[in-house]
Amino acid sequence: MKLHADRSDTPVVTAHGQGWVAIDGQRHEGDWVLSASGVRHPWQRATELPSTEDFSALSQTDGLPPELVLFGSGPQLTFPHPSALQGLMRQGIGVETMDTPAACRTYNILAAEGRRVVLALLNPSPPKSD
């Protein structure tokens, strides 16, 4: 039994690895923001961990506020400071923190369901060997 649509106009994460993510088969290095409506761009931040301003900016990704922001914190689960999420929470936007692989899988499911979801990925590069 087939449980998914034959074709979807929603962008999906098709692969990921340390330091990169593939969106609709196109590989992108570093940290990225992706929305179910098709907006995609590098996630530029002033600090290593996202700040209140970084998270609040995600509410403007599509023009309409998302229902949910999925924060992919990298290969290991790392929670942002609760104060960094206050701007989104005041707007009634849910935030879920997951490791990057789980966030990518969850985004694909919610986006395919037609949900207004934004994926924000920290995707650190692998350590350089000497």
pLDDT tens digits for range 32-79? 999 999 999 999 887 888 999 999 999 988 778 999 999 999 998 999
Determine the pLDDT at residue 6. Answer: 45
Determine the pLDDT at residue 63. Answer: 78
Q: Set out the domains of the chain in order of their start, with CATH numbers.
A: 29-121 (3.40.1230.10)
Query: Do 107 and 71 form a contact (C-beta atoms < 8 A)?
Result: no
Determine the pLDDT at residue 1. Answer: 40
| Pairwise CA distance, residues 18 & 25, whole Å | 16
| Pairwise CA distance, residues 10 & 121, whole Å | 18
| Pairwise CA distance, residues 122 & 115, whole Å | 22
pLDDT tens digits for range 2-35? 445 544 678 999 999 988 999 999 999 999 999 9
| Pairwise CA distance, residues 102 & 99, whole Å | 6
